[in-house]
Amino acid sequence: MKLSERELIERWKRALPRPRGRLRLGIGDDAALYELDGERYGIFTTDMLVEDVHFRRAWTSGEDLGWKSVAVNLSDIAAMGGQAELVLIAAALPPAVSVDEADAILRGAHDCAGAYGAQVAGGDTVRSGGPLILSVSAFGEARKDEVLRRDGARAGDLIAVTGSFGGAAAALRMLERGERPPADLLSRLHRPLPRLEEGQALARAGVRCGLDCSDGLLRSLDLIAEASGVSIVVSPENIPLDPSVRTKLGREVALELALEGGEDYELVVAGAEGTLRASGLRLTVIGEVVAGTSARVLLRDASGVRAAKDAGYDAFRG
């Protein structure tokens, strides 16, 4: 593939007609919005996990794989401020997958859905002549006046995040080196926790801009800046780094993994100080939104302000 993932998505977006009827938001955000009635949107999202691209079976139990396949979809609903309702699971299973492993995948998926008030409503199964593939779709709901979108950042807003960053990327790096990650970091990689309650609290408080951080913090900030037509200035020293990573690998590596690693599934939001505070959440402010400049994301430290490099996970470039 000669295009990046973002370039392909933009190409396909241009090829499709604009949303019509009750479809209010199509390609370009964490999920699609469909008008259910005068007060509510339906939230629709889908995601795939492909063996040897997103996971290796040697590192990942069936239950962990099932959990993560659902969690990454529920995280998209959290990024829109929604409540998760239903999950559909399609599984392409190669002959090497045993019945016990298949059952474990379903258990993990069911456990994750149930932990966040959702149900597995069905799906599809097929024999795979290649890798194991899980494709999950999720449905949620949100009030029309309580939705988070990528295009809602305005100059003067603060940029804030939930949780900490770099843990999942550190676990992946250790596994790739043949090392056994600490249990807390392994959990960050295999069992991410969708921030559904946090997303709803932010939306109720009046925050209107957010997404979930799946491809690295720099990539997430760039997506907000691009969609909103603004620039974002971030202070790296304010980014909450996973404490285990900082202790084990040092601050410099921990910061690199936080900025570029991905798979944290924390929320990144933009809003006025008072609105963020009204959510009642423990958030960390890491930067601010400014009028658009030649660079969409800038890093500010003691040496000054500089443009951030284009970094983060890309599905077609590794």
Q: For the sheet with 133-143, list strands across it.
A: 23-25, 32-35, 40-50, 133-143, 83-93, 119-127
pLDDT of residue 318: 59
What is 178-224 written as a DSSP string? T----HHHHHHHHS----HHHHHHHHHHT--EEEEESS-HHHHHHHH
The whole-number average pLDDT for the span 1-14 is 90
**Which DSSP letter does residue 67 get?**
H
The residue out of 121, 143, 165 marking a domain boundary is 143
Q: How many domains does the chain have?
A: 2
Q: Are residues 103 and 154 in the same domain?
A: no
pLDDT band at 295 (very low <50, low <70, confident <90, very high): confident
Q: Are residues 160 and 249 in the same domain?
A: yes
pLDDT band at 302 (very low <50, low <70, confident <90, very high): confident
pLDDT band at 160 (very low <50, low <70, confident <90, very high): very high
> Greater confidence, 6 or 221?
221
Domain containing 166 equals 150-307
The whole-number average pLDDT for the span 204-222 is 96
Identity (one letter) of the amino acid at 201?
Answer: A
The residue out of 143, 173, 205 marking a domain boundary is 143
> Greater confidence, 302 or 69?
69
Q: Is the pLDDT reported for residue 206 higher than 90? A: yes
The whole-number average pLDDT for the span 54-83 is 97
- CATH number of the domain at 198, please: 3.90.650.10
Whole-number percent of the chain with pLDDT over 70: 99
Whole-number percent of the chain with pLDDT over 90: 92
pLDDT band at 281 (very low <50, low <70, confident <90, very high): very high
Over residues 109-158, the pLDDT tens digits come to: 999 999 999 999 999 999 999 999 999 999 999 999 999 999 999 999 99
pLDDT of residue 144: 97
Exposure string for 299-318, b = 16+ CB within 10 A, e = fewer? bbeeeeeeebeebbbbbeee
Contact, 264 vs 213, CB < 8 A?
Answer: yes
